[in-house]
Structure 1
Amino acid sequence: MPERDEVVAGRYRLVEPLGRGAAGVVWRAQDERLARVVAVKFFTSAGSPKDVDRIVREGRIAARLRHPHAVTVHDVVEHGGKPCLVMEYVPSKTLAEMMDAAGALPEALVVGVGWQVASALAAAHAAGIVHRDVTPFNVLVGDDGTAKVVDFGISRAVGEGTVTEARAVIGTPAYLAPEVASGHGAVFASDVYALGATLYAALEGHPPFGNADDNPYALLRRVAEGQVAPPRFPGPLGEVLGRVLRRDPAERPTMAETYALLDAAVQGLPLPAAAPPTATATATHVDTRPVEDTGPVGHAPPTGGTQSLPVPRRVPWKKVAVVAGAAALVAVGVVVGTSLRDERPADTALPAQDSTSTTTSTTTSSTTPPAPDCAARLEVTNAWPDGYQAQVVVRNASGRALTGWKLTWPQPAANAINNLWNGVLTKGADSVTVTSADYNAALPVDGSTTLGFTANGPATEPPDVTCTSGG
């Protein structure tokens, strides 16, 4: 096993072990080439070709996903003749550790964690990746309340073969979807159910069908039957769980729709109406093949608006400080303002007119510029010496539903947007334009949506944003 101060791949110096499990051990390490802290994951058994394939596959699949709420895999390196993963280091506790320390967690915390994890999983699904092991053990929560999903080690990606044993049930039994517990392959809807089971456990203090240390065969049978007791704490989250924990995969929302439900719960808004299942939805979610089929997932990667929800705005729920060695959870309110600037142009005073033109003047002054159909506000949510992160809130300010929107704002030459989510970016010489994406173009009356971006350069006073309808 690795030891302190050992150097991996000629650059990663091991500092201290972070955690140990059945699969192996994770160390905090110093990347001496880039002067940054990383996590290095060593595996207990990685000698067989099958194990090596699994580890390399995990690195390949995780590298396809770049998301602020998914732990990034930087590299796959070899040490002692075995491969290991070099990952983003996240000072954090797992959601399972928080549950062990405090039992059932506050609803605001659980909703916020689920909202962040759902955004990462929606992006994974949009990339054709099924996680297959969403559990409290694979959700990290930082001291600042940021949540990240980790461990794509048993993930299945469209176009990737699997290296699992025939008839094996893949995943953690207490958090499996009924179809997986019954021996079928995991699909996108299975991740939706597993996320629901994870949030249920955090809210109630135990998984939907019993504790993880129960008899695994009896537990799998209860999971396969799929009879979930309603949460003891009714509320927005309880309603969301009622939708995602449905036994029939075709009746569950997609992960992008789950994110939208949790987003509404975070903002205290009414939940979107449940869409009736359709033949298309059934074909998308149901995979009746046994798990020994090692081909790609039995449907194409999700396309269209409902699956392509990559990144949420900055966390507007109650941040949670995890106090080391204590069971107390201190909620610190972080509120994203929902008020928007009034974008209506100011009335322009007309020049003085003589008496002969009074009638004409009166007629002209009664014609005021029309109020804009939408309004937007940009604010910087995080900054560092050579860059910053910002979010833009877009609101329908008209009395009718909008089918699209377009934003324009001046962009200083010293600033350069290098990543934008929830919109389509067009860069001009001294301004930027963002048009709506397919999935967030439609805005009901008084409805709103958000987009975000990171940029290089100094954070300046947020510019005024011009919003027009029509995309």
Structure 2
Amino acid sequence: MPEHNEVIAGRYRLLAPAGRGAAGVVWRARDERLDRVVALKFLTTGDGDRERVVREGRVAARLRHPHVISVHDVVDHGGRTCLVLEYLPSHTLADLVDTGPLPESLVAGVGWQVASALAAAHAAGVVHRDVSPFNILLTDDGTAKIADFGIARAIGEGTVTDGRAVVGTPAYWAPEVAAGEGAVFASDVYSLAATLYAAREGHPPCAQPTTSTGPLAEVLARALRHDPAERPTMAEFCALLDEVVTERPQTRVLDDPPEVPRRSAWRRTTVLTTAAALVAAGITIGLSLRTPDPTPEAQPQPTTTTTTSTVVPPPPEVCTARFTITNQWPGGYQAEVTIHNTGDQTLVNWAVTWPQEAGHAISNLWNGTFTVTAGKITVTNAPHNARIPAGGHTTFGFTANAPSTPQPHPTCTTRTT
């Protein structure tokens, strides 16, 4: 067994155990070469351990997403193989559920974050196969990340798990998996819905009657359908959860460009007030990741003067957009767009537009809202990144289905204050 202060692979000094489960133990460690805190994951001994560790490292390395735990390295030490992971001071969703059923807004916000990560995994051809409250990590600022791709399967690859072995967490299995069939993308949708159901109700599906009603309950009912073909895709599930969080219907294709959405401040305040109540229970959690600036500037009052405008369009060069492909696979890619404010005034309510190439379709987008009209894709800001200070920048990202490598030339429009 690993010991306190032991140095792994000549550079990772073990500081303290960070968690333990049936699959093994995780230690908090210091990378003495790069002077950073990391997590080292040691699996329980077994013939397939090394293959499983390498598989998790390989699968997670294919994914680059803000809501997926990053894998830094795979190392061998004393005949054992372990993963070097991003260290995230956090609780599991299971820890939070132990305090009792959680409010709808909190559950939907956590679900949206995890669904966006799993949608990116599915776009990369990866099925997680073990989505449960135990594999969702939550930080004090409300960030949710999915972990443990140890039994994940990339489409087209075999499995290192014995066909007779039980994989995943049975209480959150999809019906087809419980019946002995292989897990598919729709199985992850069911497992995430079952996880969110447990967070809302305090128990997994079918254990007791459902007591919750409302938009989230309706969305979860769709994702918990027995027939995999009747469930939404993970990207669709993510969009449905976003509707619950923002309390608005989400439209992906419109005849006319939409107005910039203004999500209600009281809604976000309600979420944070609920989080404060959870602090009293001993666990801190919020949704600040999707919370707008708590002190927005007051909007100008209407006046009777029609010849004076408070909004002055900036020169085109003060707002630039850079498109970068961060991951690519057959039939799709993941991209990040960075919007820079090169001027000397704060930019407000930005929009980035580029022509939609034939066969290209966005499947999931974060840190913004997109529409497609007249052959053009337009991405507008989310509430939390609507304002870009002078010299600053912000980003949004997305995954897309595409037959070829995209070559967009995005343009940026905005206003100044």
Q: Taking structure 2 as the reference length, what is the TM-score of the superposition?
A: 0.70
SS in 2 for 1:442: strand
Over the aligned positions, Cα root-mean-square deviation in angstroms equals 4.3
Counterparts in 2 of 1:321 and 1:90: CA distance versus 1, 3 Å: farther
Task: Give distance in 2, aligned partners of 1:436 and 1:192.
Answer: 31
Q: 1:83 aligns with which of 63, 81, 84?
A: 81
Alignment map for 1:281-296 (pairs within 5 Å): none
Counterparts in 2 of 1:36 and 1:117: CA distance versus 1, 3 Å: same
Aligned-pair CA distance for 1:236: 1.2
Counterparts in 2 of 1:113 and 1:207: CA distance versus 1, 3 Å: same
Amino acid of the residue matched to residue 196 of structure 1? A
Match of 1:224 in 2: none
Deviations 1:69-97 (A, max 9, x none): 01001110011111100000000000001
Counterparts in 2 of 1:332 and 1:250: CA distance versus 1, 3 Å: closer
Counterparts in 2 of 1:459 and 1:23: CA distance versus 1, 3 Å: farther
Task: Give distance in 1, aligned partners of 2:179 and 2:66.
Answer: 33
Match of 2:147 in 1: 150
Deviations 1:17-45 (A, max 9, x none): 01111111100011111111100001111
Is 1:252 the counterpart of 2:208? The answer is no
Q: 1:114 aligns with which of 111, 116, 122?
A: 111
Is 1:202 the counterpart of 2:133? The answer is no
Q: 2:354 aligns with which of 432, 435, 450?
A: 435
Match of 2:259 in 1: none
Amino acid of the residue matched to residue 171 of structure 1? G
Task: Give distance in 1, aligned partners of 2:380 and 2:268.
Answer: 13
Task: Give distance in 2, aligned partners of 1:148 and 1:460.
Answer: 30
Amino acid of the residue matched to residue 127 of structure 1? A
Contact 2:67 2:146 in 1 (8 A): yes
Paired positions, count: 339
Contact 2:371 2:379 in 1 (8 A): no
Aligned-pair CA distance for 1:331: 5.5
Contact 2:142 2:286 in 1 (8 A): no
SS in 2 for 1:143: coil
Contact 1:42 1:85 in 2 (8 A): yes
Amino acid of the residue matched to residue 410 of structure 1? V
Aligned-pair CA distance for 1:209: 2.7
Task: Give distance in 1, aligned partners of 2:66 and 2:39.
Answer: 16
Contact 1:106 1:203 in 2 (8 A): yes
Deviations 1:371-396 (A, max 9, x none): xxxxxx9xxxxxxxxxxxxxxxxxxx
Alignment map for 1:177-192 (pairs within 5 Å): 177-192=174-189
Contact 2:140 2:285 in 1 (8 A): no
Match of 2:11 in 1: 11
Counterparts in 2 of 1:198 and 1:27: CA distance versus 1, 3 Å: same
Match of 2:214 in 1: 235
Moved more, 29-38 or 131-140: 29-38
Contact 1:40 1:87 in 2 (8 A): yes
Amino acid of the residue matched to residue 59 of structure 1? G
Amino acid of the residue matched to residue 215 of structure 2? P
Is 1:460 the counterpart of 2:407? The answer is no
Match of 2:292 in 1: 336
Counterparts in 2 of 1:255 and 1:443: CA distance versus 1, 3 Å: farther
Aligned-pair CA distance for 1:2: 0.7
Task: Give distance in 1, aligned partners of 2:337 and 2:412.
Answer: 14
Contact 1:69 1:147 in 2 (8 A): yes
Aligned-pair CA distance for 1:424: 7.3
Match of 2:28 in 1: 28
Q: Taking structure 1 as the reference length, what is the TM-score of the superposition?
A: 0.62
Contact 2:142 2:285 in 1 (8 A): no
Task: Give distance in 2, aligned partners of 1:418 and 1:33.
Answer: 30
State which structure, 1 or 2, has the greater radius of gyration over its C-alpha atoms: 1
SS in 2 for 1:87: strand
- Gaps in structure 1 of 5+ consecutive residues: 211-227, 274-314, 350-376, 378-407
Amino acid of the residue matched to residue 336 of structure 1? P
Deviations 1:342-373 (A, max 9, x none): 9xxxx998xxxxxxxxxxxxxxxxxxxxxxxx
Counterparts in 2 of 1:157 and 1:451: CA distance versus 1, 3 Å: farther
Counterparts in 2 of 1:422 and 1:86: CA distance versus 1, 3 Å: closer
Q: 1:66 aligns with which of 42, 53, 64?
A: 64
Task: Give distance in 2, aligned partners of 1:76 and 1:422.
Answer: 24
Amino acid of the residue matched to residue 92 of structure 1? S
Counterparts in 2 of 1:66 and 1:179: CA distance versus 1, 3 Å: same
Task: Give distance in 2, aligned partners of 1:264 and 1:164.
Answer: 37
Contact 2:243 2:249 in 1 (8 A): yes
Amino acid of the residue matched to residue 442 of structure 1? V
Task: Give distance in 2, aligned partners of 1:147 and 1:426.
Answer: 23
Aligned-pair CA distance for 1:53: 1.1
Contact 2:324 2:337 in 1 (8 A): no
Aligned-pair CA distance for 1:187: 0.3
Task: Give distance in 1, aligned partners of 2:372 and 2:59.
Answer: 32
Counterparts in 2 of 1:248 and 1:331: CA distance versus 1, 3 Å: same
Moved more, 59-68 or 168-177: 168-177
Contact 1:132 1:171 in 2 (8 A): yes
Aligned-pair CA distance for 1:450: 4.6
Contact 1:18 1:26 in 2 (8 A): yes
Contact 2:175 2:226 in 1 (8 A): yes
Task: Give distance in 1, aligned partners of 2:276 and 2:106.
Answer: 11
Contact 1:145 1:321 in 2 (8 A): no
SS in 2 for 1:435: strand
Counterparts in 2 of 1:271 and 1:98: CA distance versus 1, 3 Å: same
Counterparts in 2 of 1:13 and 1:145: CA distance versus 1, 3 Å: same
Counterparts in 2 of 1:237 and 1:72: CA distance versus 1, 3 Å: same
SS in 2 for 1:117: helix
Task: Give distance in 1, aligned partners of 2:17 and 2:280.
Answer: 17
Task: Give distance in 1, aligned partners of 2:287 and 2:141.
Answer: 9
Contact 1:169 1:183 in 2 (8 A): no
Aligned-pair CA distance for 1:103: 1.2
